[in-house]
């Protein structure tokens, strides 16, 4: 599943860097996640975003897996899922 990520938030929140990521898949389903990353001198903006992505990876993967099932047809006769034709 192809997901495009946009930085939704990027600011200091108390003593942490608040980084928000907005993920949009090919069918325009949206997932937004915020992570607070410890501020470290010398860390670039891209590194903060990478750390937020890494911290959110499990949540993103769970969302993506759920999106893979949405819109599918369930057949209770044989307990199968199929794509709509």
DSSP helix/strand/coil, 44: coil
Dump pLDDT digits (tens) for 20-66.
Answer: 999 999 889 999 999 999 999 999 999 999 999 999 999 999 998 88
Q: What are phi and psi of 45, to 5 degrees?
A: -60, -45
pLDDT band at 85 (very low <50, low <70, confident <90, very high): low
Q: Closest Cα to residue 32, out of 7, 66, 11?
A: 7
Q: What is the dihedral of CA 52, 53, 57, 59, to 10 degrees?
A: 60
- pTM for this model (two decimals): 0.81
DSSP helix/strand/coil, 51: helix
- 1 pLDDT more than 80: no
Q: Domain residue spans in the chain? A: 3-82
């Amino acid at each position: 599943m192809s997901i495009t990520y946009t930085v939704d938030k990027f600011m200091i929140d108390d003593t942490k860097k608040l980084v928000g990521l907005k993920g949009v898949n090919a069918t325009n389903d949206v997932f937004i996640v915020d992570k607070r990353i410890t501020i470290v001198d010398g860390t670039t903006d891209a590194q903060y975003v990478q750390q937020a992505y890494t911290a959110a990876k499990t949540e993103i993967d769970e969302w993506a897996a759920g999106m893979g099932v949405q819109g599918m047809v369930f057949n209770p006769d044989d307990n199968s899922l199929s794509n709509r034709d």
